[in-house]
Structure 1
Amino acid sequence: MDKQSSLAAVIPAAGIGSRMQLTTPKQYLTIAGQTVLQHSVAALARDPRVARIIIAIAKADQHAQQLHFSVDVPITWVTGGATRAASVAAGVHKARQLGYDFVAVHDAARPCLQADELSAVISAGMRHADGALLAVPVADTLKRAQDQQVQETLVRDNLWRAQTPQVFACDKLLRALLEVGVNNAAITDEASAIELVGGHPQLVTGRSTNIKITQPGDEALATLFLTNRNI
């Protein structure tokens, strides 16, 4: 398979995950027998179009190089930045240097991705001019609040919860990140960078099981999903 019909996956893993209230970054938390990062890498390696996985880590990271990944896909390490966008830009730049035309960006702390979700978003992202992302339609009632008091109820029609992976042409994503600025607080995911330069990425319906470990207790839910997936 040539690089034009395959892609590199980028995992930004330079964050410290402060909301988890842990001394170790959440991507190195052990659940269901492996670290969260190992599960996320294994999930990405299930699609044969993922020809390389590039992981962006903090310069002072003491954990990453101790990990063993039981996948057939080569792993490349790069130094991440102070923001998620900076880490993603470093990973995408490396992917382009290695000759890949497309990139799939996936959260380090989103270990429960299923193979059919990955396949669908890769196909959509390589086909759609502005890329694609996994997302789930909002089902809960949404409230806008101030000082923890409800100010209004929002209409949830046409609202989606963005997930990863998010798949784009390398050149398009890198240009968007650099144009908007990797320190821009408005970039909360890769799709938002594309949107800020006028793009309209395609939504691909994912599952609520594709959770991101963010708050204490999320790891128990992720363990349940992973255990059931592997039965």
Structure 2
Amino acid sequence: MSEGRIIALVPAAGVGARALRPDEPARPKQYRLLDGQAVLRRTVLALLAEPRIAAVRVVVAPDDALAAEVLAGLPRTECLPCGGATRADTVEQGLLQGDWREGDWALVHDAARPGLPLEALARLIDTCLAAGRGGLLALPVADTVKREALPEGGALTAPAAPSVAATLPREGLWLAQTPQLFPAAQLLQALQQARLSGLLVTDEASAVEALQVQPLLVPGAMANMKLTWPADFEWMEKWIS
């Protein structure tokens, strides 16, 4: 299994509405600029820095007119205009396209994680290939975790802020990142089974977990944060400059 190729899939069919400021034009966050370069291009360049990645396949919406321009000139990179309504749909479609071979691995990375360090990417690949088993980058939870209290029934006015219902133990909790690396055939099976069973999955690992498989947790990196909110772009600009 470890002798197969590693092919990266970058799901980039979404819009990322939470990243927009009220005064900004509606532009998918993967096409916003960071220090003069589109987020998506920076993300793909981070993957291409690892020579063991045989190809990077960016899965975009069928009507996407920007991806090819943004990624022009990059080696080992192609756009697949077959993205779906959800992340899981998009990754599944990416796994159904192209020349996948027996033994290949699929490395799925968020389009909005341009700060992926090469050492973290290499650590994930080294760990998974050595074990012959899939895994993901993740960070142990460092902060105290609170659960929000549900609103009380019959309240006439909303509270000024949510209140705490409980403090949760953080031992054993990790924050999932990407890339997530799995045997391609296993990941496709997991996503198809999740779709047929109506299981909501928010990342590839949760789909594989439903197969009663335990993915490996590989230490990630703070720089590998996902750009979700407007302030995240300001932080990333400072990090890369």
The alignment's TM-score, normalised by the length of structure 2, stands at 0.87
Q: Which moved more, 1:100-109 or 1:150-159?
A: 100-109
Contact 1:31 1:223 in 2 (8 A): yes
Q: Quick one: distance in 1 between partners of 2:196 and 2:174?
A: 24
Which of 190, 193, 198 lines up with 2:204 in the alignment?
A: 190
Q: Which residue of 1 aligns with 2:32?
A: 29
Secondary structure, aligned partner of 2:74: coil
Q: Quick one: distance in 1 between partners of 2:74 and 2:212?
A: 37
Between the two proteins, the alignment pairs up a number of residues equal to: 224
Change in 2 beyond 3 A, CA 1:156/1:69 = farther
Per-residue CA deviations over 1:35-74 (Å, capped at 9, x if unaligned) read 0000000000011111111111111212112223453323
Q: Which amino acid aligns with 1:44?
A: L
Residues 168-187 of structure 1 aligned to structure 2 (within 5 Å): 168-181=182-195, 184=198, 186-187=200-201
Q: Which residue of 2 aligns with 1:164?
A: 178
Q: Which amino acid aligns with 1:171?
A: A
Please say if 1:155 is aligned against 2:148.
no
Q: Quick one: distance in 1 between partners of 2:13 and 2:52?
A: 25
Q: Which moved more, 1:28-37 or 1:55-64?
A: 55-64
| Offset at residue 77 of structure 1 (A) | 2.0
Q: Quick one: distance in 1 between partners of 2:197 and 2:223?
A: 30
Contact 2:58 2:77 in 1 (8 A): no
Q: Which residue of 2 aligns with 1:79?
A: 82
Unaligned runs of 5+ in 2: 152-161
Secondary structure, aligned partner of 1:209: helix
Secondary structure, aligned partner of 1:58: coil
Q: Which residue of 2 aligns with 1:9?
A: 8
Please say if 1:222 is aligned against 2:236.
yes
Contact 2:68 2:79 in 1 (8 A): no
| Offset at residue 127 of structure 1 (A) | 3.4
Unaligned runs of 5+ in 1: none
Q: Quick one: distance in 2 between partners of 1:159 and 1:5?
A: 32
Q: Which has the larger radius of gyration?
A: 2
Q: Which residue of 1 aligns with 2:63?
A: 60
Please say if 1:122 is aligned against 2:121.
no
Q: Quick one: distance in 2 between partners of 1:53 and 1:182?
A: 28
The alignment's TM-score, normalised by the length of structure 1, stands at 0.90
Secondary structure, aligned partner of 2:94: helix
Q: Which amino acid aligns with 1:79?
A: C
| Offset at residue 129 of structure 1 (A) | 4.4
Change in 2 beyond 3 A, CA 1:192/1:139 = same
Please say if 1:42 is aligned against 2:45.
yes
